[in-house]
Amino acid sequence: MTQCNRTFNDTRLEVLVFLFLIVPSMFLSFIFVSPGSFSFSTMAISTITRDLGMLFLILFFLHRNREPLKSVGLTFKNGGDESLIGAILFFPVYFLALMVQQILQKFGSWIPERAISFLTGPKDFGQLILGLILMLTVAITEETIFRGYLIKRFQEFTGSKTSALFFSTAIFALGHSYQGFAGVSIVSVLGLVYGLVYFWRGSLTAPITMHFLQNSLGLLANR
């Protein structure tokens, strides 16, 4: 077996292990865990810990494969400009999500109360700060996982940016299946947009900024 084949097989095994870690847990956690089972602080801390663990696993894979951080869009180059672009793009994307929401509501489909209850909880200033830390952690880790890492790996397997974007967005949407058809539809649209912005900019900074603002607005709106 050639070195190239060994490398491809190792990478394929790496992705299968990673998907096995995230996909069942994303799906099952919202079937067997009741929204009222944990306090907001417990939920936030456990989510931060879990997501940082996934991020460190990806960083380990990159280190093992001797791949630079910029290969998955993690770069501080022009960070200020990229953050500004993300902040500007957030507004039209936010209104796009609202349009999708209104269309789905018109056809009688919307996010169930169970999904909304996951976003409520910060009752004081301390919990609000914890919530914003949670939103930043989720934005960084999810963009690194779904836009940076999985798009890169799926593109290596399929040789197609379009296929890579489709598969990574599908898995991203699966993680929000607790929100029902409407929630998954909106998340799919957002995932596609974040992926396209990532392809355009070659950096995750703008998508992370957009993701953080989207999540934070939802958190503040449901206080």
| Segment (H or E) for 177 | none
Q: How many residues does the chain have?
A: 223
pLDDT tens track for 74-102: 998 899 999 999 999 999 999 999 999 88
Residue, of 43 and 67, whose pLDDT is higher: 67
Residue, of 134 and 4, whose pLDDT is higher: 134
pLDDT tens track for 4-53: 554 667 778 888 888 887 877 666 655 555 555 567 888 889 889 989 99
Its pTM stands at 0.87
The string of DSSP letters for 27-78 reads HHHHHHS-GGGS-HHHHHHHHHHHHHHHHHHHHHHHHHHT--GGGGT---TT
Residue, of 22 and 147, whose pLDDT is higher: 147
Quote the pLDDT of residue 1: 46
Rg (CA), the chain: 18
Quote the pLDDT of residue 84: 97
